[in-house]
Amino acid sequence: MDGDRVEIDGGIMEGGGQILRVSTALSCLLGLPLRVRRIRAGRSQPGLRPQHLSGLEMIRDLCDGKLNGGEIGSTEITFTPGKIKGGTHIADTKTAGSVCLLMQVAMPCVLFAASPSELHLKGGTNAEMAPQIDYTVMVFKPIVEKFNFTFNCDIKRRGYYPQGGGEVVVQMSPVKELSPINLTERGTVTKIYGRAFVAGALPIKLAKDMSAAAVRCLRREIRDLYINIQPVREPDDQAVGTGSGIIIVAETSTGCLLAGSSLGKRGKNADKVGIEAAEMLLQNLKHGGTVDDSLQDQLIIFMALAKGVSKVKSGPITLHTQTAIHFAEQLTKAKFTVTKSEEEDPGNDTYIIECQGMGMINSNLKC
């Protein structure tokens, strides 16, 4: 500790940008001055990338904080938060850095602001190594809103690797506190739907091929459900650059949403993109959890902030989730336990993630 500065080792466990996102969001919420060392130490290009820096700068601006070490390539930052305020905030990665990851860092903070917020997030909407914006809207949004808040996400323009140029506008009002969630019953799959997209110079035939290949792959395991994967061409005025990809969502009788997704790239066969997404979905359905591998870690910070006990049944715990739990526990009074789920099918590799939330109260709200 430097004075009362919390020390974070950014090189342990998952060792990536996620440590920065979780710790700076919690620092901002809890008013804890922070030092993060060894940022992305194990990555091929260590230190801050444009993606991480624009997220940090947005958090700094959200709470009138002070940020030192905020430049590309920096492996150490200090952050001193101020008071969270609502209003309009802009974050621009100026690259194909993911707008969804910008949303992950800002959303918990603006929930505890004094007034409503509007976030203008610019960068890649459908980027590698991050949730696609379609996933954020189709899966993350309806599930995270179970913590008892709502947000609006308007996709103004889509942007792809390498130039980005996408823009998403997120609007949300603050809450007094978050309710805990209980996602322990998977239920049965009742529908499967999705979208296969192309943009820019790519023909719609590619989207149709991705969709058809995904359906063929799913049909081998799931015979009795209608599968509706729409091939779409993004309108030219709503997409920057050239990109393609697919997302497939399975909805269950208890309202669970699990997905598989994949992105196209030069030299990658369209069938392969469709099959990758279908296989990811089947994998997520196989373990019997109520959330897929991508959603697991995104829920941890909300479980930590909520008032009361949250329970989520999941497949094998990802390193991202273990990392989020580690830093949530280090910075908040929340307590997590992960236990192997001993029920129904012994072949299922399922776990219960339980959290006694810290019960964060929004002291900025007067009501």
Instruction: Scan for tokens 């969630």, then name that residue.
Output: 181
Classify the phi-psi angles of 16: left when phi > 0, otherwise alpha if psi is within -120 to 50, otherwise beta.
beta
Question: Residue 13 and residue 286: Cα distance in Å, rounded?
Answer: 26
Judge whether 55 and 100 are in contact, CB under 8 Å: no
* DSSP one-letter code for 335: E
Comparing C-alpha atoms, which of 271, 249, 243, 270 is closest to residue 261?
A: 249
Cβ burial of 71 (10 Å; 0-12, 13-18, 19+) is exposed
In terms of Cβ atoms closer than 10 Å to its own Cβ (0-12, 13-18, 19+), residue 304 is buried
Marked catalytic residue, from 89, 287, 320, 326: 320
Q: Is 326 a known active-site residue?
A: no
* 163 annotated to a ligand binding site: no
Q: Which residues lie across from 259 on neighbouring strands?
A: 249
Q: Which residues are annotated as a binding site for ATP?
A: 104
Annotated binding site: 104
Active site residues: 320
